[in-house]
Structure 1
Amino acid sequence: MPKDASATRDALLHAGAHLFAAHGIDAARTRDIVTLAGQGNDSAVTYHFGSRAGLLDAVLRAGITRMEPARAAALPGLRPGDLPAITAAIVEPTADELRTEHGRDFLRITAQLAGRAGIRDRHLPPLLRGTALQGQLELLQDACRAVHVEAIALERVSHFIAFLTAALADRAARLPDPAPPALAHDVYTADLTAMLTAALRTPAPAPTRLPKHPPPNTVKTSPRGGAVR
């Protein structure tokens, strides 16, 4: 790709990330993305990314790629069933995205997509397939299965992703505030990791079964509005 074309692509990538984060992946306007990128032609997104969806895909892929070296380095040392270590290995590279503007935009976008992680139906998004993050998520699911039945384990991991992305997106939105956050980055990350680990480990409640018929002496309403027993 020629140098000027590469620069245009990067500008569109950064503009798209910023506006998808600020206005939402469905509400951000392509024309505004093009203008913010310093381009004069609305077809620039189509030329460089194929479509608006292709631009979003490229933004997400860039974020996953940034985190991949740290995840790949940690993955071989993770022991099956070591829930605190597995949780930390997932949380820490994700939280490190808070350190840059591009990373904060990425976090605010991923929070919008948390429900599409494919954990419950066992269909991981194509962007995650073959990544170290996939390996980490599989270890997390196995660790949860060791203490919970399958349905609970998958539900816990789904909620783990939803809570992690929502918490980081909230912090990302507040970090441009000139007032420093109450918790420094390392303290915040350690606390978030501890909280998520505890949530995954907490025993599931015993199943509650509702009676099929009202118990004896229950007051019911007659067809005419009166009370019968």
Structure 2
Amino acid sequence: MVTEAGNTRTRLIEDAERLFAERGVNAVSLREIASVAGQRNTSAVAYHFGTKESLVAAIYQHRLGPTNDLQMRRLAELDDQGLGQALPALVEVFVRPMIERLERPSWFLRFVANALYVERVAPYDLAAEAWTRALHQLLTRINACINELPTPVQAHRLEFFIGLFVHTLAHHERQIQLGRGVRTKADRELLAADLVDAAVALLTAPVSSATHDKL
């Protein structure tokens, strides 16, 4: 049973997500979030979450909790199929649930694109939370698939992969809101397949002699 307090908390999370996506985490006050969410008590956010950092964490948990569960099931299926260390399959498990999110109106991917670079608010320690356990396992396995690369290059490739993933999907989320972009299941399937191809190519691209010379 969803309580009134639970409804208020969810409303605050979802309105904060939209405001942070539109303007950035640091540009939005807790009082403004409470006002937009229809709370007469301007301290409502502080009451439910304490700090802005805790509110941001609650947004991540609200969205990534169900995604984490789905990804953990798909990882278990890969292991059963003997594909638990196969890079294309791992990248698809990483990518596809977020592309499936594009089926529904959302601000989450643009929120992530804004919040990812704000100090003390992004979930950098993926092993620390139950709702990021799948992301931690996926990135650990993906990293193991490219461990023949020089260590600095390996770190760069993971950074490039996350950037490609987050900003591409944030862009498509915005395009959908404007009535453009991936609007059908076929569009989403093509985007998923192409993004997996591009990510695998990025992660496994040969290291040029010019890059080797700089190591």
TM-score normalised by structure 1 residue count: 0.79
Q: CA deviation at 1:106?
A: 1.4
Count of residue pairs the alignment pairs up: 203
Q: Kindly tell me: are residues 187 and 209 of structure 1, through their superposed partners in 2, closer, same or farther at Cα, counting changes over 3 Å?
A: closer
Residues 1:184 and 2:154 are matched in the alignment: no
CA deviation vs aligned residue, 1:161-191 (integer Å, no higher than 9, x gap): 1110011111111111224548711111111
Select the structure that is richer in helix.
2
Maintained 8 Å contact 1:115/1:162: no
Give me the whole-angstrom Cα distance separating, in 2, the residues matched to 1:209 and 1:65.
Answer: 41
CA contact (8 A) 1:114 1:162 kept: no
* Alignment check: 8 A CA contact 1:84 1:197 kept: yes
Q: 1:208 to 1:19 in 2, by over 3 A?
A: same
Which among 127, 137, 144 is matched to residue 135 of structure 1? 137
Q: Compare relative contact order (CA 8 Å, sep 6+) and give the higher one, 1 or 2.
A: 2
In the alignment, what sits opposite 2:73? 73
Q: Shift of the alpha carbon at 1:66?
A: 2.0
- Does 2:114 match 1:109? no
Indicate the residue corresponding to 2:150 in structure 1.
149
Distance 2:132 2:57 in 1: 16
Contact 2:127 2:136 (C-alpha < 8 Å) held by counterparts = no
What is the correspondence of 1:16-31 to structure 2 with a 5 Å cutoff?
Answer: 16-31=16-31
Q: 1:168 to 1:115 in 2, by over 3 A?
A: same
Given that residues 80 and 143 in structure 1 are in contact (C-alpha distance below 8 angstroms), is that contact kept between their aligned partners in structure 2?
Answer: no
Cα distance in 2 for partners of 1:115, 1:144 equals 25
Against the structure 1 CA distance between its residues 55 and 199, is the aligned structure 2 distance closer, same or farther, given a 3 Å change threshold? same
Per-residue deviation, 1:209: 5.1
In the TM superposition, residue 45 of structure 1 has moved relative to its aligned partner by 0.3
- Structure 2 distance, partners of 1:44, 1:123, is 28
Q: TM-score, normalised by structure 2?
A: 0.84
Rounded to whole Å, the distance in 2 between the matches of 1:68 and 1:130 is 6
The answer to whether the 8 A contact 1:17-1:106 is kept is: yes
Opposite residue 5 of structure 2, the aligned amino acid is: A
Deviation at 1:55, TM superposition (A): 1.0
Q: Where does the alignment leave 5 or more consecutive residues of structure 2 unmatched?
A: 119-123
Partner residue of 2:44? 44
1:107–1:99: structure 2 CA closer, same or farther, 3 Å change rule? same
Of stretches 181-190 and 80-89 in structure 1, the one that deviates more from structure 2 is 181-190
Specify the alignment match of 1:35 in structure 2: 35
- Kept in 2, the 8 Å contact 1:107–1:168? The answer is yes
Partner residue of 1:89 out of 87, 93, 113: 93
Deviation (angstroms), 1:35: 1.6
- Check the 8 A contact 1:90/1:133 in 2, yes or no: yes
Given that 1:114 and 1:165 are in contact with CA atoms closer than 8 Å, whether structure 2 keeps it comes out as: no
Shift of 1:81: 4.0
Give the letter for the 1:176 counterpart: Q
Structure 1 residue 26: Cα displacement? 1.2
Indicate conservation of the 8 Å contact 2:13/2:55, yes or no: yes
Correspondence for 1:195 among 189, 195, 198:
198
* Percent of aligned pairs sharing the same letter: 26
- Whose radius of gyration is greater, 1 or 2? 1
Question: Is residue 205 of structure 1 aligned with residue 208 of structure 2?
Answer: yes
Unaligned runs of 5+ in 1: 117-121, 211-229
Name the CA shift for 1:129/1:151 in 2 (closer, same or farther; >3 Å). farther
What are the superposed Cα offsets for residues 75-106 of structure 1, whole Å, 9 maximum, x if unpaired?
A: 121435411111111011122222223xx311
**What whole-Å deviation, never above 9, does each CA across 1:111-168 have from its counterpart, x for those lacking one?**
224458xxxxx954734786122111110000011x4122211210121011100111
1:179–1:155 Cα change, 3 Å = closer
